[in-house]
Chain A
Amino acid sequence: MPDWKQRLYRTFEANGQACDVDVLEELSTHAAAAYDTLRAQGRDASEAERRVDDLIDVWVREAADLHRRPKRASSIPPPAAGGVPLAGLMQDLRYGLRLLGRQPGFAAVAILTMALGMGATTMLFTVVYGVLLKPLPWADADRLVRVTETRQGRTGRVLGTVSNGTFLAWRDHRSTIEDLGGWLTQTATLTGAGDPVRVAIIPTTPSLFPILRVRPLIGRLFNEGEGARDQPGLVILSYGLWQERFGGRSEIVGHLIQFDDKPYSIVGVMPREFAFPDRETRAWTAWSVPPVTGKGGVLVGVIFRAMARLRDGTTPAQAAAEATSRARSAPDMGLAARALFGAVGAIDVSAVPELQAITADVRPAILVLLAGVALLLITATANVASLQLTGATTRRREMAVRAAIGAGQRRIVRQLVIENAIVGLCGGAAAVALAAGLQRLLPSLLPAGFPRLDAVALDMPVLSFAAAVSVLASVACGLLPGWHTRRVNLVETLSENGVAPIGGAMRSPIARTRTLIMAGQVAIACMLLVGAALLTRSFVSLIRADRGYDPVNVLTGRLPLPPAYPAERRSQLLEALLDRLRVVPGVTHAAYSTGLPLVSSGGFSAFNMRSPRNPDAEIEVQAIQRFVSPDYFPAMRLRLVAGRTLSDADTAATPPAIVVNRTFARQYLGDHPLGFHIPQRGPRAGGLRFTDEHADCEVVGVVDDMRQDSVDAPLQPEMFAPFKQIVPASIGNFDPILVIRTTADPTTYVSILRGLVHEQAPALALDSVTTMEDRVMTSLAKPRLYAVVLVWFAVFAVLIAGVGLFGVLSFSVAQRTREIGVRSALGAQVHDIVALVLRQALWIVGIGVLFGLAAALAGVRLLSTFLYGVSPHDPLTFIVVPIVIVAVAVIACLVPARRAAKVDPLAALRAG
């Protein structure tokens, strides 16, 4: 069979007629079909061929009409002129999807950028909402206030507490509040329910549960008056403990368990969702606040946490005023108050909404991070808008044609917004997935003790927020290019050839907008980088800070002793343990103490003594008081300032000796602290009974100050007394802390330590065994987290700015090809061309950095509360950050600059 297509083509050509390929193909199928039919009708091949050739001749004669013309514009539905707003929405949506499908690279970059920005924002918002905004899980929780007492402006030794004097005085005469509840925090060994286990328990006043408006799952709550010292112990179990230890049996009420060997009768179980004050708490025991005047007129001082429920219509300020006035008329706690508050003087009580009180610690940091993430989101959105603007430049023809065939401004903008909404929603969905993933990791990312972690969830408010952010971001991205199409002129756009006039690269409004966006992105990257650098430097300063002791190569652990453990037996056990430890190879010093920085202060003492400066005057002393074994000083590497440290020679047979710290010496002892005698007799709070009861104790040495918790907390006066000289029973119950200095990695000694304890006392188990360095790092978990998060934000912002700059410059080089060609033709060298690109980049970066640094200078005020050892206006940071930004900019310039240098002037001019 002949090749009809070939024949048609040749015949048309021979007659000087041209024909569309499409039409040619259609005619050839017709010719072939006609030929087949003729053959089927029995004609011979030459006859059939002749007849079809006749047909072709007819077509050639009519060739003028054989053209398929494009469909008329009327086949595009005209824009809905404001009538039906959603008409054509599906069409726009389909078009948008097709468009994105055609540019997978652009779609991926845009969606990824948005996902990153919105993912980080959504994640942080889950934390903001869950921790700071979500109401507490109690009924009318906005009427719950946390009560805190200060004396002469000083808070209790345990932050956020009240004294028993204040609590009782207010509770007995209250009018602004419904009731007041108080609680302590403790850990205790639970026995009588499976293997012994250390658990966190909360001794609480019976009034606390009614304040929270909660009911037990089974059994009952505590009744008013229960929990007094002479009454049998009562306990309410948490749901978790009930399930784990009692298999969720309902006949549990009345069952006995022991905490630290004291029996407690189970009265109820709380529901699964009940957690107070946190999820770690496994049980609540009945406790009553002791009166200030105890048996035999002894003054009793206790500090603990307290919460009140406001009466309807009263404000926290009214409650605080009432509490303050009641506290000031409460019985004087004397020296106990000074020991507990470090001051005696005017009492002030504050009442702060509970939600605010428990989040006060993290609120400023979360808000700063939220500001950081908002900047990141802005820069991510700006990046997508900038990409869209490039698209808008290349799509000007499309927009112009659409406008010419009747698409209104609103329709075109709507199309752009819809395209961006697709990007935004994809980004939003990816962001929610990202946030969901991160949220699972959250408990391991956030430091222990971060408040309200269990309230952090991807719930409706958070999802609505994510949806709102993605819609807003997409609208913002779409409106910008849409706004630029306002002025699209059909004739101009269609007649220009897509190449900018010489020197015109920055003159078009789109180019100017992109430059502005770019400068803004550089500014944001600059701000975030300054913040990240400051927090990182501050964190490094915190690690390197002089704490007064050396945490390297020190292993520590607590040895919980049952309250019934005999005091004499305790000393024997500890001394035997030290003897065994000292001979372990690699152990240089082993000691025990009642207190250790970052673990426990040990105890407080307050007493009066004559002034060393003026023997006639009496001064009021308050200090941290700890009992130590002699090796405590070398084990912690405390620096000796004067005299000597305690030694094994200080025994019950020698005169009582104490060592004080530099602050104690400066505050109370004057210039010659050594040899000063501190009286044992006279009223005092905080037991310190030497075996020689009548002798004064002599200050034998002064050591440098030691930071107890955070390095920026005020220094406290401290006294160290040797265990061997103290009447064991006078120390009371305490859990000794073991301190071991090693020559090698201290973690390798953990099993040895545990083994030795087990050997000496098989019934006892070590608690919280960890290195001193780990304790320091744990205490820095929050600053580290804030620094790490901000560093990530800054890295992303710099990356986004780098990619954005690359995009702007590449586009600009492409647009200026002709200009570059002309310049080369006129004699510009490669380095001139590269300089041209670099100049443009540095101009953008310069403006961005300038504004970024100015904004950072104004904004670092917000950061100043988080900074340690570095000024908010740290010169190094403000010098290095611009250098980093410029370095990134130069890297972003390399490829576009190379491309510009490679422009062939001939090709460029011909193309122009």
Chain B
Amino acid sequence: MVTSLLERELKRGSTEVLILALLDERQRHGYEISQLIEERSNGTITFHTASLYPTLYRLEEKGLVDGRWVERAGQRRRRYYRLTRAGRKALAKQRSTWDTFFLALDRVAGVRHA
């Protein structure tokens, strides 16, 4: 039970930082985000599309990302997300938290991080 709760928290926290990191580069739509996570992790993070959108909406609600509909010629209307200033700050903070976390894991459990 405890493990599953931790897993869920971990997953949730990691999903957030993954999304924020991808949006840090440029604005993207939901499908692109899900594809990129899968591609860049070489398929190791089979990321459930189910949690992508609730996460995006939560981030939007917190004011960390900003979503808006964009229409481009010859393409279907898509909702693009970009990082807000608050999102950028949150990303920096999360990155440093993860850094500390991996360092601790390394020291305690001998888990190396790249």
Contact = CB atoms under 8 A, between A and B. Distances in A.
A66 B49 contact: no
A66 B57 contact: yes
Contacts of A748: none
Interface in A48-96: 55, 58-59, 61-62, 65-72, 74-75
A26 interface: yes
A814 interface: no
B31 A33 contact: yes
A33 B78 CA distance: 10
Contact of B78 (A29, A55, A68): A29
A30 B30 contact: yes
A65 B49 CA distance: 12
B114 interface: no
B8 to A, nearest CB: 12
B61 A34 contact: no
B57 A69 contact: yes
B104 to A, nearest CB: 30
Given A29-B76, A30-B31, A66 B53 contact: yes
A472 interface: no
A72 B86 CA distance: 13
Contact of B54 (A34, A65, A74, A75): A65
A274 to B, nearest CB: 66
A23 B30 CA distance: 11
B63 interface: yes
B28 interface: no
Interface in B63-80: 63, 76-79
A674 interface: no
A647 to B, nearest CB: 102
Contacts of B24: none
A58 B49 contact: yes
B49 A55 contact: yes
A59 B49 CA distance: 8
A374 interface: no
B51 interface: yes
Given A71-B61, A72-B62, A32 B76 contact: yes
B71 to A, nearest CB: 11
A179 B76 CA distance: 92
B61 A66 contact: no
A362 B90 CA distance: 74
Contacts of B88: none
A27 interface: yes
A75 B77 contact: no
B68 to A, nearest CB: 11
Nearest to B61: A69
B30 A26 contact: yes
A552 to B, nearest CB: 79
Nearest to B79: A26
A68 B50 contact: no
Contact of B50 (A29, A62, A67, A75): A62
A34 B30 CA distance: 11
Interface string A432-457: 00000000000000000000000000
Nearest to B57: A68
Contacts of A58: 48-50
A62 B54 contact: yes
Interface in A543-581: none
Chain A contact-residue range equals 20 to 34
Nearest to A67: B57
A904 interface: no
A256 to B, nearest CB: 86
A485 B54 CA distance: 39
A521 to B, nearest CB: 47
B16 interface: no
Nearest to B30: A30
A29 B63 contact: no
Contacts of A62: 50-51, 54
Interface in B18-70: 29-31, 34-35, 48-51, 53-54, 57, 60-63
Contacts of A68: 57, 60-61
A71 B50 CA distance: 21
A316 to B, nearest CB: 71
Contacts of A70: 61
A696 interface: no
Contacts, number: 56
Contacts of B35: 37
A58 B78 CA distance: 21
A25 interface: yes
A37 B31 CA distance: 11
A71 B29 contact: no
A30 B57 contact: no
A875 B34 CA distance: 88
Interface string B81-105: 0000000000000000000000000
A755 to B, nearest CB: 82
A25 B30 CA distance: 12
Contacts of B29: 29
A34 B52 CA distance: 14
A74 B62 CA distance: 9
A55 B53 CA distance: 13
Contacts of A72: 61-63
Nearest to B63: A75
A29 B49 CA distance: 13
Contact of A29 (B51, B54, B77): B77
Given A59-B50, A72-B62, A25 B31 contact: no
Nearest to A32: B76
Contacts of B77: 25, 29
Contacts of B34: 30
A29 B62 contact: no
Contacts of A26: 30, 53, 79
B14 to A, nearest CB: 17
Contacts of B31: 29-30, 33-34
Nearest to A34: B31
Contacts of A75: 63
A29 B57 contact: no
B50 to A, nearest CB: 4
Nearest to A57: B50
A66 B78 CA distance: 17
A26 B54 CA distance: 12
A740 B64 CA distance: 95
Given A29-B29, A71-B60, A72-B63, A61 B76 contact: no
Contacts of B76: 29, 32
The residue among A26, A55, A74 with the most chain B CB atoms within 10 A of its own CB is A26
Nearest to B34: A30
B43 to A, nearest CB: 14
A54 B34 CA distance: 16
Interface in A732-757: none
Nearest to A27: B53
A69 B60 CA distance: 8
Interface string A18-55: 00000101110110111001000000000000000001
A708 to B, nearest CB: 83
A29 to B, nearest CB: 5
Contacts of A66: 53-54, 57
B50 A61 contact: yes
B79 A71 contact: no
Contacts of A33: 31
Contacts of A25: 77, 79
A74 B49 CA distance: 29
16 contacts: A23-B57, A25-B79, A29-B30, A29-B31, A29-B79, A30-B31, A32-B76, A58-B49, A61-B50, A62-B50, A65-B51, A65-B54, A65-B57, A71-B61, A72-B61, A75-B63
- Closest CB pairs A-B (n = 8): A65-B54, A33-B31, A62-B50, A58-B50, A30-B31, A75-B63, A68-B57, A69-B61
Interface of A: 23, 25-27, 29-30, 32-34, 37, 55, 58-59, 61-62, 65-72, 74-75
Given A32-B76, A34-B31, 9 more contacts: A25-B79, A26-B53, A29-B31, A30-B34, A58-B50, A65-B53, A67-B57, A71-B63, A72-B62
